[in-house]
Structure formats: structure tokens, C-alpha cells
Amino acid sequence: MKRILLAIAALASAIACGNTDFDPQNKVDGVRILSSRADKPYAKPGDTVNLELLVADGRVEKPRPVVTAWIPIPCINPPEDLYYLCFTGSSGSTGSSSTGGQGPLGQLRPGQDVTRFLPQGPTYSFKMPDNVIIPRKSGEPYGLAILFNIVCAGRILIDEVDPSKGVQQVPISCVDEYGEKLPPTQYVIGLTRVYAYANRVNNNPVIEGLTFQGAPVDPKVGITVDRCTAKDVDKLQDCPELKLDVQVPATSNELNEGEKDVDGAPLRELVWASFFATAGTFDGDARLLYDTRSGKVGDSVVRYLPPATPGVGTLWTVVKDNRGGAVWTEFPVTVK
């Protein structure tokens, strides 16, 4: 069993270079990872770190359930912090991978179903190694752990490895019950980075609330809107202006310890919000909330465009900072 888990871990470099778009279009019409987070974005050596994925399934037809799975072994300090070098066996200036080498991959036969060997569910925990912090070419020492995850509306299989395609190929597939590879709308492969510092601290941002058309939103109740009756529903100007905003306190704009501008002034975190919907769209994928120098920006309102077809969907707001912090909220939308 241990050898199988090591072999699964060796897939990480290829997995990471699959469908890893963490800033996708705001229309959710397939299987997606909208975000991931750690309860300790900056951990200490020896800490237990709890991870969580925000998984969305916007498929209209769902012939197979979605499986959310984790590669159970973290990749520690890959060369140059490059995720696709996690298991190449080469050493770099920033350290080496957690296992090194492509050997364990050979223990798994192409076509083998590894679904049952992977921990499943939207959460996973790991221990940050005691010796994770290492010297760097420039700046203070730090450590990096990378955890890989897979969301697949089917079964997870091993592919043939083609050395001619380089290190960023994907020797893994999401297939149906007949072994046929599923299209990208049916799976996504992602990663979560967690840094370790001796003294730096980073907290996840906080969402205090949401407003829709100026009124507070109860996430349990959601919102109700009229469908868009414009002839061309892709034209925002032909539908009512429906405004969504997110309230994030200034305390979420933390000081970015050790980082300064060209004049030596300390910098703070960059904080932004992204929006996603299974029903309707938004007039943009993201809004900047806090700048590194000036703090809170002026207008963070995003415009929601309801669909032409009545029904019930889901809206998500994800708030992130540029040091790996994340928080989210979701609520239903009823389209009349």
C-alpha cells in the first residue's frame, strides 16, 4: 500500500499542469475547483495544516457523481518552487522534492484505476515537516509544501508517460465506466501551496457580509431575481442593473511582513474578490478590494446578469490575498 501511495504521489508534477486554472470565467457550467485554502496559509514547522477545496458542479446533466480526491503525500520544496518539478529527481537551489525520482511511477501500470487509493472529500490535513525551512538565494529562509487534488466525474486512471513530451505532461485521466476519457468539463486537477516561515504570519481574509441591490444577503436564503428578457442576454445594458458587493474589513489587508516598496515603505497584502455563478453571469471575474499601498479601493461592486431561463442556481464570492489566504461564501439564486 505504501508503495502505491508513493507512486500516486509521483504523479503530482504532471497533475499540476493539467486543468489548473484558478481564475476561470465566472460562468460555472462544468466541474470546477473555484478555490482552495489552508487554515494556516503561513504555517510553522511541525504544524498540522487543514486544507479545504471549494468544488462546484455546474453540469446540466450529471450521469456520474463527482469524486474529490487528494494526492496523499505533499511535495516539499521542489526545485525553484516549480510544482511540475516536484518529482523529477533533480535538485535545485531551493531544495528537493519529498520523494524524488520518477521510479515509483513505474509501479503503476497504465490503465490502472487508482481512485480507491486516494483520500476523498473536500478536506485534507497534513503535517508540515519539522525541517521544511531551508536557505534561499535571496531573502529570508522559508519552506514550501504543495498538495495536489483531483475532482473527477468518473474514475481516475494512470496514463502512459511519453518522455518526449517533457515534465509537464499529465499521465493521469478521468474516465467513464467504459474507460473513455472525459472532456475537461467533467474534471479538474489543482494544487494548494502552503508556505512555512519562522516568524511571518498570514491569516485568511474575512467576509463580513454581502449586499445585493444595497440590501444585506442572508446566505441561507439567497436572492430572487427576474429573468433577463432581453433579445440578446449577453448584452448587460439590455438587462436591469443588479449590483452585488462584498464587505471585507480593513484587518484583512494585513501587513506583508518583510516586503517594502522602492522607497522603503512597508507594503500590505493585495486583496481581491472573484465571483462565480451557475445561473447567469457577472460583468467581470474579479474586483480589487485592497491595494498594497493605498489600502481600500473605491468601488468594488460587481454587476450580476440573470439568465433568460427561470430556475435555481448558485452564486459564489471568493476573497483572496496575494499570500495564499482565501475565504468564500455561497448562496442560492432563484430566477423567476
Q: Give the C-alpha separation, 183 to 63, whole Å.
A: 14
Grid cell 470565467 in the structure block, residue: 25
Q: Which residues pair with 286 in a beta bridge?
A: 274
pLDDT in the model for residue 51: 98
Cβ contact 333:223 at 8 Å: yes
pLDDT in the model for residue 102: 38
What tens digit of pLDDT does each residue of 262-284 get?
Answer: 888 889 999 999 999 999 989 88
Which of 36, 17, 46 lies closest to 126, judged by CA? Answer: 46
pTM for the model: 0.85
pLDDT in the model for residue 97: 38
pLDDT in the model for residue 284: 82
Q: Give the C-alpha separation, 330 to 152, whole Å.
A: 22
pLDDT in the model for residue 160: 74
Q: Is 324 helix (H, G, I), strand (E, B) or coil?
A: coil
Does residue 300 come out as left (phi exceeding 0), alpha (psi in the -120 to 50 range) or beta? alpha
List, for the chain, all residue ranges whose pLDDT scores fall below the cut of 70: 1-24, 87-108, 161, 167, 169-170, 231-237
Domains in the chain: ranges and CATH: 2-196 (no CATH), 209-335 (2.60.40)
pLDDT in the model for residue 176: 93
- Here the cell at position 51 is 486544507
What tens digit of pLDDT does each residue of 54-79 get?
Answer: 999 999 899 999 999 998 888 899 88
pLDDT in the model for residue 21: 41
Residues 134, 139, 145, 148, CA torsion sign: negative
